[in-house]
Amino acid sequence: MKPRLTRRDFLTQSTAAAVLTPALAIPESPEKPKSSAASTSAEAPHEKSHEKPKVRAITGFVQLDPARHETQIHQTLAFLHGAKTTFEKSGYDVEGVRITTQPFPEYARGLSREDTLSFFRAYDGLAAKENFDAAIGPAMSTDTDDPSFAEMLGEIIMGSAILEGSLAVAGDDGIHWNAVRAAAKLVRYVALRTPHSQGNFRFAATALLPPLTPFYPGSYHVGPGRAFALALESANVVAEALTGKPDYAAARESLIDSLSVHARAIEAAAKKIEQATHWTYAGIDLSPAPFKNVSIGGAIEKLTGVKFGASGTMTACALITGALKEIPVKHAGYSGLMLPILEDAVLAQRWSEGIVSMDALLAYSAVCGTGLDVIPLPGNTTQAQLERILGDVASLAVKWHKPLSARLLPVAGKKAGEQTEFDDPFLVNATIQELRH
């Protein structure tokens, strides 16, 4: 039997380009700014910088109607593929396209449980066929939501290859303890029932995460309108900007300069797309996502001169996130430092060496971006332990009123000290650390 493909496997497969209808035609490239000063400030860093970011994803946000969802999806894909062409003609590679909907209980409440599961099986098949990534929103957005929807989300993830979802474990109203418990239960359920325990790669417990976030799995949409946002893959740009700088102040300015020119160029193309299509541009999530050997951990080590996790790492995390906040574009999502352990070769190595721990990552989350991301855990991690971890993430988010999330990956049959065996070209395997009791 062939292994089940993940959403990221599908992103690596070549697909035929979609053809835009005349109503969705997008100008091929943005006009150059008329001001000579603006032109100089936008183009000068290109002459110094050899690295360019990728657009990790163009994410379209739609209110999905089960009765006509195929028509909506095809219209959205026409838009997304047209936007992809525009960004590529502007000089930026695009890894893939994504479609995010409203929280799935909003359109599942009129369906029976079996009809809901059947709908999502069909939707997952459509996503596989049409080669797009799909987030179906949080199963619980408030602490009074029905936890049976969280159980249903676990079944959906277990029975799908593409679909991604989340639970909101904290919001402006504080910690959602019912959702914390439901999320911990879901993580245990999915870990035991998906190949290599990889299903939790498509689930996140989120805290204070705003709508219209282009990074997955916590992405969700609210309201009736249509919008799009962009996620970047830019650890390479960060590494180049931080290398060889005489001090932290120079490194910070170099990072702002290097990322600003690309972010502004990408945003200029996005605004042209917005004008041509009437899809609302919701911003760029500037979190510098890594890709295995294109490592944000390695970038930080170039700045500090020591291994990630040693003294000085906290300062570097704060510096990068602070620099991101200064970039003059419309921000979306986290827009902070992203530290996904199993998506980054250097971070995975430092985790395996025991130099960085979950406690350290939580501490860095106070000054950076995304919380506990793709963390390998022993297979015997209990629901109570998961609840405590998720409670810590929620508490930190509420304390500092900032978006955080947790993707926890207990690996069935694996103990502390053993190596993970994830079967995914976008994941790095690492040694599992022991959890403190």
Strand partners, 205: 167, 406
Does 203 score more than 70 pLDDT?
yes
Average pLDDT, the chain: 90
Least trusted range by pLDDT, from 34-38, 156-160, 354-358: 34-38
Q: What is the DSSP string of 94-160?
A: B--EEEE-S-THHHHTTS-HHHHHHHHHHHHHHHHHHT-EEEEEES-SSTTS-THHHHHHHHHHHT-
Q: Determine the pLDDT at residue 50.
A: 82
Per-residue DSSP letter, 276: H
Task: Please name each of the domains of the chain with its CATH number.
Answer: 45-437 (3.20.70.20)
pLDDT band at 425 (very low <50, low <70, confident <90, very high): confident
pTM recorded for the entire structure: 0.89
Q: Determine the pLDDT at residue 49.
A: 58
R_g (Cα) of the chain, nearest Å: 21
Q: Determine the pLDDT at residue 48.
A: 53
Contact between residue 263 and residue 238 where contact means Cβ atoms under 8 Å apart: no
pLDDT band at 437 (very low <50, low <70, confident <90, very high): low
Contact between residue 59 and residue 228 where contact means Cβ atoms under 8 Å apart: yes
Structure tokens at 135: 């987030």
Mean pLDDT over 359-381 rounds to 95
Q: Determine the pLDDT at residue 24.
A: 41
Q: What is the pLDDT of residues 271-328, one digit of tens each?
A: 999 999 999 999 999 999 999 999 999 999 999 999 999 999 999 999 999 999 999 9
Mean pLDDT over 208-235 rounds to 97
- Rounded to whole angstroms, how far apart are CA atoms 151 and 80? 32
Contact between residue 52 and residue 241 where contact means Cβ atoms under 8 Å apart: no
- Rounded to whole angstroms, how far apart are CA atoms 368 and 255? 15
Mean pLDDT over 389-405 rounds to 97
- Rounded to whole angstroms, how far apart are CA atoms 348 and 409? 14
- Rounded to whole angstroms, how far apart are CA atoms 333 and 208? 10
Does 357 score more than 80 pLDDT?
yes
Q: What is the pLDDT of residues 166-201, one digit of tens each?
A: 999 999 999 999 999 999 999 999 999 998 899 999
- Rounded to whole angstroms, how far apart are CA atoms 304 and 16? 44
